[in-house]
Structure 1
Amino acid sequence: MWVDLAQIISASAVTLTLLAVIMTIRQNTRSQKALAVDSLAAAITSINVPAMKSHTLGSALSKATADWGSASREERIIAHYFLFSFFKLLENAWYQRRAGILDQ
């Protein structure tokens, strides 16, 4: 009788422990998703704010996207660096969306 009661109590303790672990993992997953979204937002800000403040970047992008050959070497370098960073950021966002990290 006492052995059966001890086994029931043990099984209950194991079940409660597993439920606690499951809840902790779910909470950690939510936190990691929020961190990924926050990191992506910070990356977007870090690329957009300097772009809005820089007349040189705007001019370089305008010339390079209209006609790559008409842009100077320096303008092409500036445009290339910005566009590469921008597309890597979009790639990261696409990957996170596809992986289910970003909600619809």
Structure 2
Amino acid sequence: MVQHRARVAAAVDIPVYCDADTGFGPGPALVQRTVQEFIGAGVAGIHIEDQAEPKKAGGQSGIALVSDAEAIGRLAETPGPAYVIESADQRSRPSLAELSAMGRKRSR
């Protein structure tokens, strides 16, 4: 998968942004490895979801989310420079103000 992203990034003159689902593994260490590999492949940004494994499509029922602490922990040690965007995948997530606060915690 990373090799495919590297070919795409090398083929264009614009930043490449990729969907990395939940980071391809449970726990912060695997998410951080995914981010490092994507950045190493020349990707400018990635999208990480806040779902627990196994990930489901957004419209499916029974979506389980990781805790706020795990969502922040997944991204806390990610290397830069890159844009890492985490989604809040379910309406039961906190309000927009609370999500913004989570984002501020992550960016410190």
Same fold (TM over 0.5): no
Greater per-residue strand proportion: 2
Relative to the length of structure 1, the TM-score reads 0.23
Greater per-residue helix proportion: 1
Greater RCO, CA 8 A, separation 6+: 2
Relative to the length of structure 2, the TM-score reads 0.23
